[in-house]
Amino acid sequence: MKNVLAEAHVPESAFGKWFLRSNTWTDYVLEVALEDLTHLLKDTPRTFNVIADVGCGYGRSMKKLNDRYSPERLIAMDIDQEMLDETKKEVALHNLNNVEYVRCSSSMIKLEDNSVDMVFCHQTFHHLIYQPEALKEFLRILKPGGIFMFAESTKRYIHSWIIRLLFRHPMSVQKTADEYLTLIKDSGFTVNDEQISYPFLWWSREDLAIGENLFGIKPPQEREETLINLIAMKPL
């Protein structure tokens, strides 16, 4: 019998694990994505009583999600027990008492149908081998009208030399921004054009924006996007 947990993702490199604990990750990757995603909600009043963070990593998102959306239940999900153990330490540090922990693959989620108001998926999807299956699971666990927050690096970024050198990913499943958007829509989610953004942040460039910052070399107006952020909804 196949080991589903072992085959569902590619474990992160030692450097990647260090980076997920760093202030650079927290301040310039996670916080910036959350600000953008919150803006993409377009100030629509919403209550997120139950939030599932799929691929919570080392738990740096827990306090941020709690402070922004005040959920009654905050579910930390990851395939890696080490990540969940570290998330528990992060949660204890901030005295959060509404967090639950679920170890599972994103393609086999241990939650009931229609049980979650928001699925938060930040820089997790490019680690997943079974991407269409994961999206089906996200759709299943979301309540009708529930929100899927998606922030992801694209094939252009994951295939760059610097990321190949420092991190570990399943390279054959990486997608362009357009391919991710198509996949999400084809999985049954509704996505409005005004709730999509394509940031071109310094850390998502192969030269880490050194050319622009030191030499004034502007990036081309037309380029293959390195990031996509979007808000999707499960139809009512």
pLDDT at residue 19, rounded to an integer: 79
Residues near 21 by beta carbon (within 8 Å), at least 6 away in sequence = 58, 60, 86
- Give the separation between CA 95 and CA 48, rounded to whole angstroms: 20
Whether residue 4 has pLDDT greater than 50: no
pLDDT at residue 232, rounded to an integer: 97
3-state secondary structure of 148: strand
Whether residue 45 has pLDDT greater than 80: no
Give me the percent of the chain exceeding a pLDDT of 90. 68
Q: What average pLDDT does this structure show over 132-157?
A: 96
Q: What is the DSSP letter of 199?
A: -
Superfamily of domain 4-13+24-210+221-233: Vaccinia Virus protein VP39 (3.40.50.150)
What average pLDDT does the chain have?
Answer: 88
- Give the separation between CA 185 and CA 114, rounded to whole angstroms: 19
Largest CA distance in the chain: 56
The overall pTM is greater than 0.95: no
pLDDT in tens, 169-226: 888 899 999 999 999 999 999 999 999 999 987 566 665 545 556 656 666 677 789 9
- Give the separation between CA 107 and CA 130, rounded to whole angstroms: 6
What counts of helices (H) and strands (E) characterise the chain? 11, 7
How far is residue 17 CA from its own chain's centroid? Answer: 16
Give whichever of 15-19, 157-161, 180-184 has the largest mean pLDDT: 180-184
Q: Is the dihedral of CA 61, 62, 65, 67 positive or negative?
A: negative
Nearest to 204 by CA among 173, 167, 172: 167
Strand partners, 100: 75
pLDDT at residue 204, rounded to an integer: 60
